[in-house]
Structure 1
Amino acid sequence: MTSLTDPFALEFVQRAMLGGTLVAILCAVAGTWVVVRGMAFLGEALAHGMLPGVAVATVLGLPVLVGAAASAVAMSLGIGALRRRAKLSYDTSIGLLFVGMLALGVIVISHAGSFATDATAILFGDILAIGVDDLVVLAIAVAVGVGSATLAHRSLVALAVDERVARVLGLAPRLAQTVLVGLVTLAVVASYQAVGSLLVVGLLVAPAVAARQWTTRLVSTMVLAAAIGTAAVAAGLVVSWHAATAAGATIAATAIVAAGLSWALRGVIVAVRRRTASPVLSSA
């Protein structure tokens, strides 16, 4: 048991665990809606869409979260503009901006000198470098995310069921969609330092997918996803410590493994129940 707890005796690992827990909570709230609404591609696009803002902020010596937020917000607004004015589909709009922003980020990086280390941090995160200031930012992000999701819960539920129903009930589906995109943007930007732009979708989607195997209620899914995400953070930190692997990538991989195991276990339970019920039905 000592080998499992040894890493957490260090302060920087404790900060990483606390920061990862806050990220897991925020991603659980946003990720549940991402899974319910089938918006994983949006999360992936926003994660990559942060790259030019982060690159520019790094080159100019500005806070990377400011650059990430500005870039992600610009992409969200661009997606909405393309849908309204160019009359493109949601997936097409996301795909165009996804490639464009990623290309722009690579161009900025390629023209900057000695960018290799920073590029690695951008792509894969550096959760072990989380400081007190980062924890404060994450705590504020969690408060804003949970508060927004709570206030817009009815509208988001109606939007998930049927946009026309939401409109008839006066629940402002367009505003709900804006809140949802903003929630995903907030989760992606806040999670950036922990797992990086390439792996953030794993922590955003995988715990929610795992939780949906056991409950269909939205609030229960969020709570269970937060617990699974937190467990993935703890397990990922322990594994990365002893295996000398990248912490952010290990956490994301652990979350995905948890989703796979949850799906497999659920399948086994369903199969056993069917076999148990078959003799009863046959004898009847």
Structure 2
Amino acid sequence: MTPVDFIRDLFNPDLAFLPKALLIAVMSAIVCGVVGCYVVLRGMAFIGDAVAHAVFPGLAVAFVVSGSLVLGGTIAGVITALLVAAFSQNRRLKEDSVIGVFFVAAFALGIVIISRAPGYAGSLQQFLFGSITGIPDRDVFVVGLTGVVILLVAFLLHKELVAVTLDREMARSVGLRTFWLDIVLYVMVTLAVVISVQTIGNILVLALLITPAATARLLTDRLGVMMFLAPVIGGVSALVGLYLSWSWDLPVGGTIVLTLTAVFLGGWLLAPRHGLLASRMRLVRGAA
């Protein structure tokens, strides 16, 4: 399928789900690209994966009762985070151990809940791996509104979030409430994960959060440029991934992730300062 054919399909009334899927995929990628910059800079990839597991029971409940996926996922993520915070007060267990217990338990609870819904196998596959069909109109508006709220919070608290990300002790010494800023960031990660699940799936959503920001990190040393590049990389990769999946009848989530990975590998090889080829050139010049 040529790009022109894909554009025609986007405007085909009989394929109304396709432009909705594209909108949600691109909007989710942009939001995840911005939030992912904080996650990558703080080395929080494990937290991102854990949140993706934690929101699953809320998504499952919302699906079974035909409620809001965003609301259900957010409530489940916040409840699980509070449980982790409470049980982490026992210093005999480290926080990462408690996270491993509760977030995986939350994921298992989600599987049990979704198994009670009609069409269990299809529903589970949709949540785990994403689906471009059957996206209701209201979800486009919910994802768009939620994305705007996340980006607005990131814009208003950018300096504070960066300060806590780069040097927590300094941030605490100048009077910033690091605990509450951590909570804000966790909620932002939770919302970014929830709005991305329908297109890319619960298992693969971490790639949308991490890979664009990691690629941007390879391409620049400036935080402002990184915050711009990450959502651009995510949005373009979502567009290309959806086009490839539609053209070759491939799973959407997997195709988008592989597209993101290809861009990351390109950056790892060709980045002007931190790429493999640039590093080898510097070694050759130094030896000469």
Give the TM-score of the pair, scaled to structure 1: 0.90
8 Å contact from structure 1 (residues 202, 253) kept in 2: no
Task: Determine whether 1:269 maps to 2:274.
Answer: no
Match of 1:215 among 214, 220, 240: 220
Gaps of 5+ in 2: 11-16
Residues 90 and 155 of structure 1, relative CA distance in 2, 3 Å threshold: farther
Pairs within 5 Å for 1:36-185: 36-83=41-88, 85-87=89-91, 88-185=93-190
Q: Secondary structure at the match of 2:204?
A: helix
Match of 1:253 among 255, 258, 269: 258
Q: Secondary structure at the match of 1:62?
A: coil
8 Å contact from structure 2 (residues 60, 110) kept in 1: yes
Q: Secondary structure at the match of 2:2?
A: helix
Q: Distance in 1 between matches of 2:252 and 2:118?
A: 26
Structure number with the higher helix fraction is: 1
8 Å contact from structure 1 (residues 8, 14) kept in 2: no
Q: Distance in 1 between matches of 2:77 and 2:231?
A: 23
Q: Distance in 1 between matches of 2:61 and 2:22?
A: 29
Q: Distance in 1 between matches of 2:230 and 2:66?
A: 36
Q: Secondary structure at the match of 2:220?
A: coil
Instruction: Provide the aligned length of Structure 1 versus Structure 2.
Output: 277
Match of 1:29 among 25, 34, 45: 34
Return the letter of the residue paired with 2:281: V
- 1:144-195 deviations in Å (ceiling 9; x for gaps): 1111112222222221222221111011111211111111111111111121
Q: Distance in 2 between matches of 1:111 and 1:192?
A: 20
Q: Secondary structure at the match of 2:7?
A: helix
1:89 Cα shift? 3.0
1:63 Cα shift? 3.1
Between stretches 224-233 and 49-58, larger displacement belongs to 49-58
Return the letter of the residue paired with 1:10: D
Q: Secondary structure at the match of 1:197?
A: coil
8 Å contact from structure 1 (residues 7, 13) kept in 2: no
1:64 Cα shift? 2.9
Return the letter of the residue paired with 2:283: R
Q: Distance in 2 between matches of 1:80 and 1:44?
A: 17
8 Å contact from structure 2 (residues 114, 123) kept in 1: no
Return the letter of the residue paired with 2:190: T
Q: Secondary structure at the match of 2:175?
A: coil
Gaps of 5+ in 1: 280-284
Q: Distance in 1 between matches of 2:59 and 2:242?
A: 25
Q: Could you tell me the percent identity over the aligned residues?
A: 36
Q: Distance in 2 between matches of 1:104 and 1:258?
A: 35
Give the TM-score of the pair, scaled to structure 2: 0.89
- 1:83-118 deviations in Å (ceiling 9; x for gaps): 3x3344332222111221122122223444531111
Residues 231 and 171 of structure 1, relative CA distance in 2, 3 Å threshold: same
Q: Distance in 2 between matches of 1:142 and 1:34?
A: 17
